[in-house]
Amino acid sequence: MSFEIPDHLLEIRKRVQDFIESRVYPVESQLEERGGAEAQAVMKDLMEEAKREGLWALGHPKEIGGQGLPFLDYVYVNEVVGRSEYATVALGTHSLQDSIMLKEFASDEWRERYLAPLVAGEIFPSFAMTEPDVASSDPTQLRTRAVLEDGHWVIDGHKWFTSGADRAAYTTVMCRTEDDAPDHDAFSMIVVPTDSPGYRIVRDVRVMGHYGGHCEVRYEGVRVPESHLLGPRGAGFRIAQRRLGPGRIFHCMRWLGQAQRAYDLLCERANERVAFGKPLGEHQQIQKFVFDSACEIQSARMLTLHAAQKIDQGEEARVEIGLIKVMGAQMLHNVIDRAIQVQGARGVTEDTPLEGMYRRARFARIYDGPDEVHVMTTARRILRAYQVGDGWDFGLR
């Protein structure tokens, strides 16, 4: 495979990058306070501008109102989108996974009511698996239950880290619905409007000193019609996998965009700032930062594109996704950490975007499965291939 950016994507990547640098970067500090009326108004303006400039929902399928960029093309664009934390919402890409999930698995009624406003950015989605009372990296332990009564699902449970629930129109909730099935066939996804009686946001959980909309939510006898089930009963794990697999590739490409931005700040400062009679970049220890970061960024890029290519060819690519989820998150953290170090005290102020990027990079090693779980499942898959005599071939085709 070629790792070059395909020629036909150069223009759209450039337009997206220009939009982010000229429109999104200057208002990032206003957007940091995401709950505030001012932040919401600023974001709304950005969304309108992106629509006017033809940059909205680039990766969403055309039949649901997007621009239909093919998966692999979109991966290359997402690398640029990643440069700003706020660009996913500004460009309408934040709803991609949820809108595809609704398109594929929701009842006609739900699709008709929610899909168009979701893709248009008029409403926001949220997704609830994680629970405070059980180790949710092993989701077979989840305790939230839904019982079918008189044509309605009645849901009781307790979730947290339902990101975006504070502004979402609905939450897709992973619930145990089957008593007698094996664990992996016992859970279902049910869509719950956030204004349902019994849906109660307990708090916006403050994380590393900031409110990011990572809500704790109680479900107290919430009743929704039977048609709010996504896909068949007991298919929760299979739907989650379909949602998370490509989603992890999108994360990884965005992390590369973040890392590139941090790397630019690292190298520019290394060339400009003088200490002990010469620029920082002429000190060997700083050269090592430059070198190690280049190795890690480029390795992560190759791994991500390789995984993306396999998915594009119709494979599940679970080993490749496991490798890049762990390596990509660590790369992101390391590169931003070095960029902060080179900036000195300025690196931990809000005068550069590095402080916020560092905070969010720490999350990346936990969300969508902590490092250790991906290490476990990926290593097991490779070892199983050896057990059956196939071995593991790293050759690229």
Ligand X SMILES: Cc1cc2nc3c(=O)[nH]c(=O)nc-3n(C[C@H](O)[C@H](O)[C@H](O)COP(=O)(O)OP(=O)(O)OC[C@H]3O[C@@H](n4cnc5c(N)ncnc54)[C@H](O)[C@@H]3O)c2cc1C
Cβ of residue 160: shortest distance to ligand X, in angstroms? 8
**Is 322 near ligand X (CB under 6 A)?**
no
Under the criterion CB under 6 A, does residue 199 sit at the interface with ligand X? Answer: no
Report the candidate in 70, 46, 47 with the shortest Cα–Cα distance to residue 59.
70
Restricting to residues 86-115, name those near ligand X by CB under 6 A: none
Q: What is the dihedral of CA 247, 252, 254, 255, to 10 degrees?
A: 140
Other C-beta atoms closer than 10 Å to the C-beta of 376 total 14
Single out the residue of 59, 66, 82, 369 in contact with ligand X (rule: CB under 6 A).
369
Relative to beta strand 145-149, strand 274-275 is unpaired
CB 284 within 8 A of CB 107: no
Question: Of residues 135, 208, 275, 294, which one binds ligand X by CB under 6 A?
Answer: 135
List 5, 123, 373, 382, residue binding ligand X (CB under 6 A): 373
* Cα 124 from Cα 172, distance rounded (Å): 12
Q: How far is the CB of 369 from ligand X (least distance, A)?
A: 6
Q: How far is the CB of 94 from ligand X (least distance, A)?
A: 12
* C-beta of 128 vs 340, nearer to ligand X: 128
Question: Least Å distance between CB 256 and ligand X?
Answer: 19
Residue of the chain from 123, 154, 244, 376 that contacts ligand X (CB under 6 A) = 376
Under 8 Å between Cβ of 97 and 163 = no
Would you say 163 or 343 has its CB closer to ligand X?
A: 163
- Choose between 65 and 125: whose C-beta lies nearer to ligand X: 125
User: Quick count: other Cβ atoms within 10 Å of Cβ 120?
Assistant: 15
Q: How far is the CB of 145 from ligand X (least distance, A)?
A: 16
Alpha-carbon distance of 308 to 256, in angstroms, equals: 14
Tokens encoding 59: 């990766």
Among 19, 56, 114, 161, binds ligand X (CB under 6 A): 161
Closest CA relative to residue 264, chosen from 328, 345, 342: 342
Q: Does 169 bind ligand X (CB under 6 A)?
A: no
**Which residue among 25, 71, 211, 363 contacts ligand X (CB under 6 A)?**
363
Per CB under 6 A, does 144 bind ligand X?
Answer: no
- Cβ proximity to ligand X: between 366 and 382 the closer is 366
- Contact between 214 and ligand X by CB under 6 A: the answer reads yes
> Angle at CA 253, nearest 5°, toward 348 and 358?
10
Least gap, CB of 262 to ligand X (angstroms) = 18
Task: Determine the angle formed by the axes of helices 236-272 and 354-364, rounding to 10 degrees.
Answer: 150
Q: Among 372, 384, 386, 392, which residue sits at the site for ligand X (rule: CB under 6 A)?
A: 372
Cβ(63)–Cβ(114) below 8 Å = no
Token pair, residue 142, equals 């989840």
Q: How many amino acids of this chain bind ligand X (CB under 6 A)?
A: 19
Reference 160, options 207, 112, 222, 193; nearest CA is 207
Residues forming contacts to ligand X in the complex (CB under 6 A) are 127-130, 135-137, 161-163, 214, 363, 366-367, 369-370, 372-373, 376
